[in-house]
Structure 1
Amino acid sequence: MLVDSHCHLDHLNLDDNHSSLSSILDDARQRGVGAFLGVGVDLNSSARLIELADSNRDVLVSVGVHPLQETLPALPEVDDLIRIASHPAVVAVGETGLDNYHSPDSAAWQEESFIRHLKVADQLNKPVVVHTRQAQQQTLAILRAHVNQDVGGVLHCFTETWAMAEAAIAMNFYISFSGIITFRNAAALREVVKKVPLDRLLVETDAPWLAPVPYRGKQNLPGHVIEVAQMVADIKGISYQQVAETTTANFSALFLSGQLFRHS
């Protein structure tokens, strides 16, 4: 069994070779994907994912307001985040974080939003899902100041340095890799994969974006997490089965206190 530890199920294009979200999830299940973490990008997105989780036992949810916004909204209110994150299908807070690559002009908004998400995660004793790009020192500084290290979290779709990964692991974080590690120009990132201990590693699709080889140029789907896991196995020189078993156990340890599912 494998877990897609980060996908945006409510953003999939259902006209793209599939008739329904159910068929996309069924295809992934038939490939051996046993659970999906649907990640919200705003409160409406988070609510849609909770509805999906209510009817799909293998879908779990992380709720939050993504740091990249086409139109900068009002800062998320802590009370609103607590309310939606208290649903039993919600196992994490985020996606939140900092992005100085795509949106450096909104740095102040991103930092305050990030801190608010961390406060909510701390209050609810839930891990945090962090987006970080070209903001290594700022991200680490905010985590050191505000994260609940007893609970930790994950740096998702990781593209930064081993030094950052190592610092995050020291704060009880996991490092999650996406299909980017299959790209021809990702040799440096594959070196980071080699160094991240397997017991601190997760795999994800970030669907519908960042489809791995051999699907580049097409919509990414949750079932493509298989290719990510296989690349991790190839990089580390271990079996696919070992990657699948360990990353599934890691997912369970981080998000579900060692249990496979939290809700029915």
Structure 2
Amino acid sequence: MFDTHIHLDLYELEERNRIVEAAIGSGIEGMVSVSMGMESCLTNRELVLRHNGRIMPAYGHHPEQSPLDEEALLVLCNWIRERGEEQESFAIGEVGLPYYLRSEAENKGHSFDLSFYLRQLEGFIQLAAELHRPIVLHAVYEDAETVLDLLERYSIRKAHFHWFKGSASTAARLISDGYYISVTPDVLYEPEIRELAAVFPLNRLMVETDGPWPFEGPFTGKQTEPGMVRDVIREISLLRGLDEEKVAEAVNDNSRNFYGWNC
């Protein structure tokens, strides 16, 4: 199985190594370790070199933090280009728009300038188009529509909306464009995610943990680890009335095909 979205670099060093080894030992074929910024990118690249073939890095700058200035964005994009010149396997991510950061500011009555975040995102989307790489997106609710506009403008073919949340019309547009979403362990208790997982096309569905993000319900008090994707797959099969093995085969094939894994 595959955990298609995890922040391995955010775990403590000793815990990180244990989690990776435990995941591999338990049959997890691959993990997509997404980046928060340059330092995170460097850590993820080290993990790739240590666990060849098991970890797919995604290089970028997470949007729920201050955006990069033009010089820093150029430095990061040029570093990613160098990885492409070396013919390394990677995706672009985690990138997107700061829905939660913006909502928090606006709820406090503060203005929020989205233009810098849009400039940054467009830069990463251009890079994904230039390098022909998959892109991993943090884009929920109305932000997803804005991101879809940009993806379509640059004719992006491989886009992965992690932990997607949005309207039925946005989901339909995402499906029409041939893009993918991934479902987290909150599918066991969150009505909005349960409804989505029950109807979204199985051939466009993947699973993730977004670790070390903690979950509630049956996962309360437990450390988030890649093995939890088994619980996600089991719940999806129950929601859809399908054989668990069939669902596992489908989401695993989706992960392999989307990220080009040869595990």
Instruction: Give TM-score, length-normalised by structure 1.
Output: 0.86
Match of 1:62 in 2: 58
Q: CA offsets, 1:191-243, max 9 Å, x none?
A: 11122111100000000004364222433112212211211111111122222
Identity percentage of aligned residues: 25
1:94 & 1:168 partners in 2: Cα distance?
18
The yes-or-no answer on 1:172 pairing with 2:178 is yes
The yes-or-no answer on 1:91 pairing with 2:90 is yes
The yes-or-no answer on 1:132 pairing with 2:139 is yes
State the Cα RMSD in Å.
2.0
1:196 & 1:86 partners in 2: Cα distance?
36
Match of 2:262 in 1: 260
- Which structure 2 segments of 5+ residues have no match? 104-111
CA contact (8 A) 2:68 2:120 kept: no
**What is the aligned counterpart of 1:53 among 45, 48, 51?**
48
CA contact (8 A) 1:212 1:220 kept: no
The yes-or-no answer on 1:158 pairing with 2:154 is no
Match of 1:207 in 2: 211
Bigger shift: residues 74-83 or 125-134: 74-83
The yes-or-no answer on 1:24 pairing with 2:19 is yes
CA gap of 1:44–1:110, structure 2 versus 1, over 3 A, is same
Match of 2:3 in 1: 4
CA gap of 1:212–1:59, structure 2 versus 1, over 3 A, is farther
2:40 & 2:101 partners in 1: Cα distance?
21
**What is the aligned counterpart of 1:231 among 225, 232, 235?**
235
| Per-residue deviation, 1:41 | 1.1
2:257 & 2:208 partners in 1: Cα distance?
16
CA contact (8 A) 2:4 2:31 kept: yes
SS for the counterpart of 1:246 is helix
CA contact (8 A) 1:38 1:61 kept: yes
Letter in 1 for 2:201: P
**What is the aligned counterpart of 1:112 among 100, 107, 119?**
119
Match of 1:148 in 2: 156
1:238 & 1:139 partners in 2: Cα distance?
32
CA contact (8 A) 1:53 1:89 kept: no
CA gap of 1:87–1:50, structure 2 versus 1, over 3 A, is farther
| Per-residue deviation, 1:102 | 2.3
Q: CA offsets, 1:134-182, max 9 Å, x none?
A: 3132122222212423xx2110111223322221122221111112212
More helix by share: 2
CA contact (8 A) 1:60 1:89 kept: no
CA contact (8 A) 1:205 1:211 kept: no
CA gap of 1:234–1:81, structure 2 versus 1, over 3 A, is same
| Per-residue deviation, 1:106 | 4.7
CA contact (8 A) 1:213 1:227 kept: no
CA gap of 1:235–1:86, structure 2 versus 1, over 3 A, is farther
Bigger shift: residues 137-146 or 244-253: 137-146
CA gap of 1:83–1:89, structure 2 versus 1, over 3 A, is closer
Instruction: Give TM-score, length-normalised by structure 2.
Output: 0.86
